[in-house]
Chain A
Amino acid sequence: MAQRPPWIPPIPAAALERLRLALRRKTPSDGLGIHLRRKQGQSLEFREFRPYQMGDDIRHIDWVVSARRPRMQPSDLLVRSFEAEEKMCLAVVLDLRPAMSLPNAAPKLLVALWWMLALVRIAAAQGDDILLGSIFGPQDGCPVKLRGQRAVAVAEALAGRIWQARDQGDASATPRAVTQALGAALKPASAVVVISDMLFEDADGAVARLARTAQAARRELLVIELDSFASELAQPGMGAPLLRAAFEGRPAAEKAGPLETAVQDEARRAMQTFVEARRKQWQAGGLYWPPARQLAATQKAMAEDFTTSFPRDPVLRALLARGTP
């Protein structure tokens, strides 16, 4: 029996399908969510102007264009017609910084790939369009559009390539994000899921602009924050003096020193402050950013946690429900 590649989600495909059906039945509809908007039979994709007909929604009359008509008769009124959009577009954006490959024993990237592939499988089963993109990675600006059952196979192949290339980046350099192509590829009424530890520098605001784009045009931005702070501290040898290597623009330490509890606490507080500031920066309509997921220290424990927590994850429930919680 062939061994399952590590980037394949530890949840079987059939279980994901059952999970999708169960959540759709049970999740309450308490507002206009992403799916509900799409089910109106209309979209925000403009198609053409056409003469007003009795029964048309008066809110679709374009008064400015109609006023330019020579005579202002009811039959001269023009209404906007839109492309009928029956499918959702799910955009999954991965953070592919070298930091996502840490810790080596239980990389955050692995959980990110599990999330990506699980969401792709669910979306493909619903017939939704899928857009896969990345920030800080080699796939910057090259989003991949998928649809149908073949989307799963393509996404798995893509995940394999990402996993194999995880150690090829320069960890010491400050990563730069290029997000224009990804922002342009986002359709209206998309659900954009960003999977990251959210600890990246965004000095030029590229990621922030992508976030604003993902929240505009009736889109929603959902953030899956992965926190590996505890798992990295639990790795073997962390109690001994360490020599910090250069990382993300920070030079290497010249002397070795123990990672004492006070230092850990200080770093923890700094991280929380940093992430809270980012949360406030991105705060706008359509943002759903639940608390971070604490990752385990081994791949096996991570897989067990993922299998247990994924069906209950608020981001998944928000995606499948008729509205965000």
Chain B
Amino acid sequence: MILLGLLTCVAGLAGLVAWHMQRPDPERRILSFARFLPDPPPAAPEAPRFALRLPWSSAGFWLRLLSAGLLVAALVFPWAEGLRLPGSAQVGLRVVLDVSASMRVASGEGTRLDKALTEVAALQARAREAAAGGAYCDELIAVGGAARAALSPIPDRPALQPEAMGADPARLVEAARLAPGACLPTQVVILTDQPAPMQLPTLDGPALDWLQVGVPAANLGLRTAIWRGPDLLGGPARLLIEVLASGPVEGPVEVMLSGPGGSQTLTLDQARDRDDLWRAEVISPQPGDWSARLSQGGAFTGDDRLDFTLPQALRPGVDWRLAAPRPAALVQDGAGLLVAPLGADPTDRPALLTYPGWDRPGAPTIGAFLDDPLVAEAMNLDLLEAHLPAGYTGPLPPGFQPVLSDAKGGVILARRADPPGLILPEPLAGRGDEAATLSQILFFSGLAELIIPAHQTPRQAWIDADGAEIPLADRESDTGRALALRVEPDFAPAPPSSSAADPLWPDIALAVLGLLLAERLLVLWRRRHAL
């Protein structure tokens, strides 16, 4: 085929040279003095059609030669591209291999990583077969906590071990999108025990497949430990242990909890809102270092032990200046939260300020209000409107913004962001009606918000059987997931490369047109200067 192309080019060149060597046809001319011209001699010999004069000095010849060459190139390039693609496609295989902690879970005779490495070898074989002897390259990127350097080409049996770390599946996609190195990938395969995302991302160029390895293996994993300090009414601190189940759960879920006060075995209860979540609560846990161990942790052992540290439960200190009695859970220390009638100077510390509003008739309806946690969670607006207190009509202290107002514009509830502060009606004491109850709910909800911190997750770490910490081990707990339907990678010919997607022939054709224009302009210029 190449010989045929070369012969065609040589023949074209020879034809172009011969065309330039031929004598032009005599031009038919009309002369106004033609009647006075003598007849040509009857025996005048005809000039040969070709003149042995090579056109090397002809600029027009070189312009036409260049045009013809570019035209041939414009024709040959797409033809050559089309010839090369079907038979010997370029195949570049990139394997992104998950080497996170869960890949050490047993799967058949080996681990999930062993299974994945077997898959890698199979993928290599199939990719080589698809290349059909053409260009082929492959690379492997192992991803644990982060992507490692690519192995290219992929060795026969890569010496890889699972990392003692949980990994976000998003890291796998990031590795799949890494810029190509020595091997330009045309097919990217992610090998992991994690399920594929609902919407598999697309890559810029190569196809992406997500292959899940490892048979489902039931697992129980310590999810978290949550500590909550004492409440305002003197309730004790609490410790909440959560266990996440993946796959079927056989028997009770038990956790051996060891702490400063000794050890105890907790039997967890299934959460009401989730089937795969089990919880146990410990009342008044002592501050200090704790360790929770699952007695039957299942397939993945990295999440079977959770060490954490609980803080000291302290009684909050307040600067209580109200006439109403102070809750026993609060300590009057003159510092911390200022609880006082509106008018005190609250500028430099958290403050809960009250005004007398419940004992005065308010507006008939609620006015404007904002989406505020206190409004949404602590109050029933219908009940509030039925017993609406009078709003505060004076100027608000600096930094406070109205949250809830009545129809007359009086401010019922105002909030300051920093330092935290609330303005609300002073609670009614000594009464048992709805208005008094409502006033106390609103007041103590605001007080609790300013004093009691939200649920705290203490410093915690997952420890494996060897005593090593496994960060983010909770992300590896889902080993009992069902395997997704397997879609084998299609090592079809690669999509066109960037150069093929942006073909060259239009540029060549444009250049040819430019050359032809130059050639015509040259002819015109010569005619003009011949006069």
Residues in A lying within 8 Å of B, measured CB to CB? 98-100, 102-103, 105, 108, 171, 197, 199, 201, 228-229, 232, 234-238, 240-245, 247-250, 252-253, 255-257, 259, 263, 266-268, 270-271, 274, 297-298
Contacts and interface: CB of A to CB of B under 8 A. Distances in A.
B33 interface: yes
Contact of A242 (B29, B33, B47, B531): B29
A105 B30 CA distance: 12
Interface in B4-55: 24, 26-41, 44, 46-47
B40 A257 contact: yes
Nearest to B34: A247
A228 B40 CA distance: 22
Given A235-B531, A298-B531, A244 B34 contact: yes
B274 interface: no
A102 B527 CA distance: 17
Nearest to A297: B531
Nearest to B37: A267
B26 A232 contact: no
B492 to A, nearest CB: 61
Given A244-B31, A250-B35, 8 more contacts: A108-B32, A197-B32, A228-B32, A243-B26, A243-B29, A244-B34, A247-B30, A267-B38
A102 B44 CA distance: 28
28 contacts: A105-B531, A171-B30, A197-B32, A199-B33, A229-B33, A232-B31, A234-B531, A235-B531, A240-B26, A241-B47, A242-B26, A242-B29, A243-B29, A244-B29, A244-B31, A244-B34, A245-B29, A245-B34, A247-B32, A247-B35, A256-B26, A257-B41, A257-B44, A263-B37, A266-B36, A267-B33, A267-B36, A274-B36
Nearest to B24: A240
A253 B44 CA distance: 12
Given A235-B531, A240-B24, A255-B46, A99 B32 contact: yes
Contacts of A232: 31-33
Give chain B's interface secondary structure class. Answer: loop
Given A234-B531, A236-B531, A253 B39 contact: yes
Given A236-B527, A236-B530, A255-B44, A199 B35 contact: yes
Contacts of B39: 253
A259 B33 CA distance: 12
Nearest to A264: B37
Contacts of B46: 255
Contacts of A108: 32
A73 B394 CA distance: 144
A255 B36 contact: no
A244 B37 CA distance: 10
Contacts of B530: 236
A103 B37 CA distance: 16
A63 B475 CA distance: 145
Contact of A270 (B36, B41, B44): B36
Contacts of A103: 32
Interface of B: 24, 26-41, 44, 46-47, 527, 530-531
Contacts of A236: 527, 530-531
Contact of B38 (A235, A255, A263): A263
Contacts of A98: 30
A234 B47 CA distance: 23
A127 B377 CA distance: 110
Contacts of A253: 39-40
A305 B31 CA distance: 22
Contacts of A267: 33, 36-38
A105 to B, nearest CB: 7
Contacts of A201: 35
B30 A102 contact: yes
Contact of B28 (A199, A245, A250): A245
Contacts of B27: 237, 240, 242-243
B45 to A, nearest CB: 10
Contacts of A228: 32
A268 B37 CA distance: 9
Sort A-B residue pairs by CB-CB distance and give the 7 closest, nearest first: A256-B26, A270-B36, A257-B40, A99-B32, A102-B32, A247-B34, A267-B36
Contact of A255 (B31, B33, B40): B40
B521 to A, nearest CB: 16
Name which of B26, B30, B47, B531 has the most chain A CB atoms within 10 A of its CB. Answer: B30
Given A255-B40, A267-B38, A243 B28 contact: yes
Contacts of A242: 26-29
Contacts of A197: 32
Contacts of B527: 236
B32 A241 contact: no
A248 B31 CA distance: 10
Contacts of A268: 36
A79 B46 CA distance: 78
Contacts of A259: 37
Contacts of B34: 244-245, 247-248, 250
A98 B32 CA distance: 8
Contacts of B26: 240-243, 256
B284 to A, nearest CB: 103
A253 B29 CA distance: 10
A105 B28 CA distance: 16
Nearest to B30: A245
A12 to B, nearest CB: 26
